[in-house]
Amino acid sequence: MKIGFVYENGFASNNGSNHLLCATIEKMLERGHSVDLIEAVSVRDNADYPPQLEKPNFKCHTVELKPTQKTNFIGRYLYGLSFVRGATKLAKDLDVDLFFVQSVPTVSFTIRRLKRLGKPIVYNIHDVFPGSAFELGIVKNKFLDKILKRIQRIGFKLADRVVVVSDDMRDVLIREKTDPNKIFIVNTWYDSDSIRYIAPEDNTFVKEFDIDTSKLIIQYAGNVGQVFGLDEFVELVNALKDNKHVEFHIVGQGVKIEELKRRTQGSNIKFYGWQPQERMSEVYSYCDMEIIPLHHGVIGNNVPSKMALAMAVGKPVMNIVEKSGYYQLFKDNHIGYSFSQDEILDAVPIINEISKDKSCLKDYQKDVIEFTNRVYSKEKNNSRLLDMLEQLQKGWNYKR
């Protein structure tokens, strides 16, 4: 099968989904399929594509664009429309059997243009747009929010399969009038080939930054951006500032990072900046718990991929999230903690108690690893995805 893989964000820039999409393409190539990647390039933080994709059955086509600020919503949307024009122009000349399109705000325009080529289209969603953009303040106007949701429904309607990462996300799409029969769930997963547990004594990140692993280290690794639940996280950090046995670590950057630093001055929090993907195992291994604070309204429109990465090395996850299927998942399976935004102070006595004796977290480790291997493994979820693509292509009535 010949696959056209359309990825606006592209591998050249730092992105939390890069490792997942790279592994997906690797699986496609391993199964003998060919992949033509079409990606946007505006800044080159990295090579145009990861070196492991350098195979005879892989080609990369770039759409060169001028960079724009991520906080500039109109600028980002116009950037996306420029990619639509460039990508679909390239796609017309490709000999492919199927298009695999990654979710971005302007994806409905891409799908509409690709539909004219008569090939099946798989719409892969990691983040539903506009989702909670109005609640987050990214979209200021409620009328505009309604228009953007109507545009997104075009993509849901025209795509032949819509891949989502959770039951919560499936429910959101059904509320947006998507045909349930075309929705296919592939759980957020981790790449078992790129992450492994590294003991503190062997961890170069621990040594480089002289991290005191005798303390209870609660880490957030990722983008401190619009979906980050800043207010609740600040409240929790400041409530624990007198407990010197607890440290919060932020490994990442984002538009809210300076505000976070300002509002947590004097508390037990340290900042380590964005780290290369190659250090992922070191970063997730050294902490005791991963914390994921989400802004209200995010879950269902997004599932944090860092959750599976932390759990892959045996770390329980502490979530700040509204009550949902995701919230209940951690309570029902003994793999972490969930607190809604108005329950956040309930976490304080639990953290204080754990800090007295961290060994209690070992009770979680076995269940966390077993659950992660059973539900979130790369092999299981990528195989399900590829099986679906092959079945769709085999049953497609191509017009010659």
- Statement: residue 70 has pLDDT above 80: no
Write a three-state SS string for 6-25. EECCCCCCCCCCHHHHHHHH
CA angle 149, 24, 34 (to 5 degrees): 105
Mean pLDDT of the chain: 93
Residue 229: the pLDDT is: 94
Burial of 69 (0-12, 13-18, 19+ CB in 10 A): exposed
Question: Quick check: helix, strand or coil at residue 95?
Answer: coil
Domains of the chain by range and CATH? 2-189+377-394 (3.40.50.2000), 200-375 (3.40.50.2000)
Predicted confidence band at 132 (pLDDT cuts at 50, 70, 90)? confident
Among 98, 141, 86, CA closest to 1: 98
Residue 74: the pLDDT is: 87
- Statement: residue 43 has pLDDT above 60: yes
Among 180, 44, 154, 65, CA closest to 101: 154
Predicted confidence band at 64 (pLDDT cuts at 50, 70, 90)? very high
Residue 171: the pLDDT is: 93
Using only the alpha carbons of the chain, give its radius of gyration.
21
Question: In percent, how much of the chain has pLDDT > 90?
Answer: 78
pLDDT by residue (tens digit) across 340-363? 999 999 999 999 999 999 998 988
Q: Rounded mean pLDDT of 297-307? A: 86
pLDDT by residue (tens digit) across 86-109? 999 999 999 999 999 999 999 999
Beta bridge partners of 337: 318
pLDDT by residue (tens digit) across 20-42? 899 899 999 999 999 999 999 99
- Statement: residue 16 has pLDDT above 90: no
- Statement: residue 400 has pLDDT above 70: no
Among 180, 120, 132, CA closest to 301: 132
